[in-house]
Structure 1
């Protein structure tokens, strides 16, 4: 693991040139910023999403041939291996997986049905597990890979009306710990990102008409700012690069210090 300083090139270390990534939910929200940053670092990105192809095509048009869209429902686990094999056959080795797909059900636990709870878990945990399981044997053959799960501050703190979401995001922590123990010897690193309050339509929907809630949020962020989606994308690009070669089993908060704010 020693570094050859005589030939050290910092730009090369952070580069993703020649790598191909799969990003679930990579054409909207934080996923789109992750796609943008990975491509900017040199990677080709395969975007998996169940949204309409024409909608995704418009969102990904700026990237040209560097972004390729496949319509796929992450919960269709009976066909996960099939879509992975198809992608590998058409685009070659995959060395990066970003598990970013998600859904949301904002209800108090006494109002949420079991079916709604399970639906959230199926997208976040079960779907991500199936995709990771399908790719790991492929990554093992090349003795390299970087897998990133999109966790959340609800992986750590209590927040009302998101029991399914919080369960799934906390579950990612256990999953990355186990996968790190199982996969490190094969050169596969497994990490997570826990975004804080980020400047997205969802954030504005929750706060624009609720000044007390916005004040409470800002009061616990030491930097006194909300994040930009690109902050999350840049963290993902870093974790997938050789600059993070000795980082595995970690969950990095991108939150302006909110987890320790008070």
Structure 2
């Protein structure tokens, strides 16, 4: 009879998910704010490919309508302005009444503003904080209360390189995204015991219309951004989309409280 030392005792590994479904979002309902254009639309697109049902929100109904047409039969929209904090509880209620429980929330809606810090008024600053931080928290709170009650859910924030280092002329935006990074850690600590994960994606320089406009007016900044990106190119919106699919899926079931840079190495570039 063989005596096994504890180090040799075979451990029974439990595989909760087969390799076929680890990255699948089949049957999941996902709410994406600002999902009608840019990175939000691309996240919606990639999640649709992964089998999810999608709800996108935004202020402009024509943009949302067009996006849903492109996304296909598993996509629906609700017109909503996230900065109207008092509307968010009702929004979540209406979505869940019409489509069932929200499994995954992607806080994508956000605004930027480029101005020297001394020219930024209190109104300017508050506007950015209201959209990028206050609204994110209010909507997250509404969704998380229901996720915690169901003992299941995933929340993804969209952060930014502006939270990582001192990019000039974006003081309000950087403050909002730095706040978001702190929020992710606290919410992950509080929610994860209830099987609700909270993570962020920090996009590097991604080729969206918004970025192209910003960079074309500032070629010096564009060259600086490229020069410190080891991969030597800008990212595509789908790079963020697929990262979101991963963080939302069971493949990432043991990941919480992280901010994942999707940046071609920009944040570690020299």
CA–CA separation in structure 2 for the residues paired with 1:128 and 1:209: 30
3-state SS in 2 of match to 1:21: strand
Q: Equivalent residue for 1:45?
A: 54
Match of 1:216 among 205, 212, 224: 224
1:29-72 deviations in Å (ceiling 9; x for gaps): 00000000111111111111112x12221122122221111110
Q: Equivalent residue for 1:109?
A: 117
3-state SS in 2 of match to 1:14: coil
Aligned pair 1:4/2:14, yes or no?
Answer: yes
Aligned pair 1:83/2:91, yes or no?
Answer: yes
3-state SS in 2 of match to 1:234: helix
TM-score by length of 2: 0.92
Q: Would you say how many aligned residue pairs link Structure 1 and Structure 2?
A: 259
- 1:170-209 residue pairs with structure 2 within 5 A? 170-208=178-216
CA–CA separation in structure 2 for the residues paired with 1:3 and 1:69: 41
CA–CA separation in structure 2 for the residues paired with 1:91 and 1:60: 15
CA change 1:56–1:117 in 2 (3 A) is same
Shift of 1:209: 5.1
Does the 8 A contact of 2:35 with 2:57 survive in 1?
Answer: yes
CA change 1:3–1:21 in 2 (3 A) is farther
3-state SS in 2 of match to 1:13: coil
CA change 1:74–1:8 in 2 (3 A) is closer
- 1:118-129 residue pairs with structure 2 within 5 A? 118-129=126-137
TM-score by length of 1: 0.95
CA–CA separation in structure 2 for the residues paired with 1:245 and 1:128: 22
Q: Equivalent residue for 2:23?
A: 14
Does the 8 A contact of 2:39 with 2:241 survive in 1?
Answer: yes
CA–CA separation in structure 2 for the residues paired with 1:49 and 1:120: 16
Q: Which has the larger radius of gyration?
A: 2
CA–CA separation in structure 2 for the residues paired with 1:258 and 1:128: 26
3-state SS in 2 of match to 1:135: helix
CA–CA separation in structure 1 for the residues paired with 2:154 and 2:262: 19
Does the 8 A contact of 2:44 with 2:71 survive in 1?
Answer: no
Q: Give unpaired runs (5+ residues) of structure 1.
A: none
Q: Give unpaired runs (5+ residues) of structure 2.
A: 1-11
CA–CA separation in structure 1 for the residues paired with 2:29 and 2:125: 33
Match of 1:148 among 147, 156, 165: 156
Does the 8 A contact of 2:163 with 2:174 survive in 1?
Answer: yes
